[in-house]
Structure 1
Amino acid sequence: MGVRFRDRLTPEGQRFFRELAELKELEVRVGFQRGKSQEEDGTDMCDVAAFNELGTDHIPARPFIRQSVDDNESKINSFLKEEVKDFAQGKSAEQILKEIGIFQKDLMQDKITSGSFAPNAESTIKKKGSSKPLVDTGRMRQSVNYVIQKKGSGDD
């Protein structure tokens, strides 16, 4: 009769699998959350961002959201590789998602400030005193944020 062995997870292993299960259930969303910020005229900042990102009949597309990802692909990949290492070494799922949210928020805010976009129309320059698009009061840049939520919740 042979000796039977049963493998058991260490407390660290148990914690890792709990965090992994939590990570599978959560997502981080970076951008503009409807109802959290408005222009002085009451226009939701989520709409203002969409108008600028995609363009309208009167506003040229200024795709700061897409460019914040496309222009930083290698930087994002390097950052995420480090986050995977940190997770394997014990960082919590919530902390990983917070760091991803902050990282992408910073990239998006930087693109709003320093991106190269179609200049403002002469009428807009006269109104706000600047030819720099996407930056007027700073409200849109300040409104970029992130939320961590259960996957699929809040889908509209």
Structure 2
Amino acid sequence: MKIRTEVRGGNKVAQALRRIQSRVMARRRVLVGIPSGAGVYEDGVPIAVIAAVQEFGSADGRIPERSFLRVPLRRNQDNIKKAFRVLSARVVRDEITAFQMLDQIGARAAGYCKEAIETGIPPANAPSTIKRKGSATPLIDRGILKEAITHIVED
């Protein structure tokens, strides 16, 4: 048995495939965290510096590691992958752009990080910190760090 095929509108099909490929394969990425230009605290220390110390702990060991970025993103990686699958299908169907897809994924990822801070990140605050802050919840004083968490879509 011999199968015969016929393609009509070859140029239009090829153009459509190129458009889909360019939307899906665009060299973009989404970054989640606290950008270097996020601002400074009242004492002049950049928010990004405090964020790094909290995320990784201080070199002298006095401030413990409290990962508000890496751990929540790892915990939610299945949710992020699922969103990517759903949204990338919408890109292919030309319902949204690749930029919009990454923007939505970045917003969700930043939300996971903020949520982690709200629910509390171990280890618990030291008694002296609780007394000074008036709160036992780590990483929350006035919410400056949490509100600085954002996402950026890079081309």
Fold match, TM over 0.5? yes
Partner Cα separation in structure 2 for residue 6 and residue 73 of structure 1: 41
Q: Which residue of structure 2 lines up, in the alignment, with residue 52 of structure 1?
A: 54
Q: CA RMSD in A?
A: 2.2
| Identity in percent | 27
**1:31 corresponds to 2:20:** no
Q: CA deviation at 1:126?
A: 1.2
Q: Is the 8 A contact 2:24 2:92 kept in 1?
A: no
Q: Deviations over 1:14-47 (max 9, x none)?
A: 53233235x2x22111101002222111111111
Q: 1:20 aligns with which of 21, 24, 30?
A: 24
Q: CA deviation at 1:87?
A: 1.3
Q: CA deviation at 1:6?
A: 7.3
Q: Deviations over 1:82-103 (max 9, x none)?
A: 1121111112111111111111
Q: CA deviation at 1:79?
A: 1.4
* Unmatched 5+ stretches in structure 1: 151-156
**1:73 corresponds to 2:77:** yes
In structure 1, give the amino acid aligned to 2:21. F
Q: Which residue of structure 1 lines up, in the alignment, with residue 101 of structure 2?
A: 96
In structure 2, give the amino acid aligned to 1:28. V
Q: Which residue of structure 2 lines up, in the alignment, with residue 7 of structure 1?
A: 10
Partner Cα separation in structure 2 for residue 12 and residue 108 of structure 1: 38
Partner Cα separation in structure 1 for residue 145 and residue 8 of structure 2: 60
TM-score (norm 2): 0.83
Q: Which residue of structure 2 lines up, in the alignment, with residue 43 of structure 1?
A: 45
Q: Is the 8 A contact 1:112 1:135 kept in 2?
A: yes
In structure 2, give the amino acid aligned to 1:146. H
Partner Cα separation in structure 1 for residue 9 and residue 80 of structure 2: 41
The 1:39–1:54 alpha-carbon spacing in structure 2 relative to 1, beyond 3 Å, is same
Q: Deviations over 1:84-129 (max 9, x none)?
A: 2111111211111111111111111111111341111122111110
Q: How many residues align?
A: 146
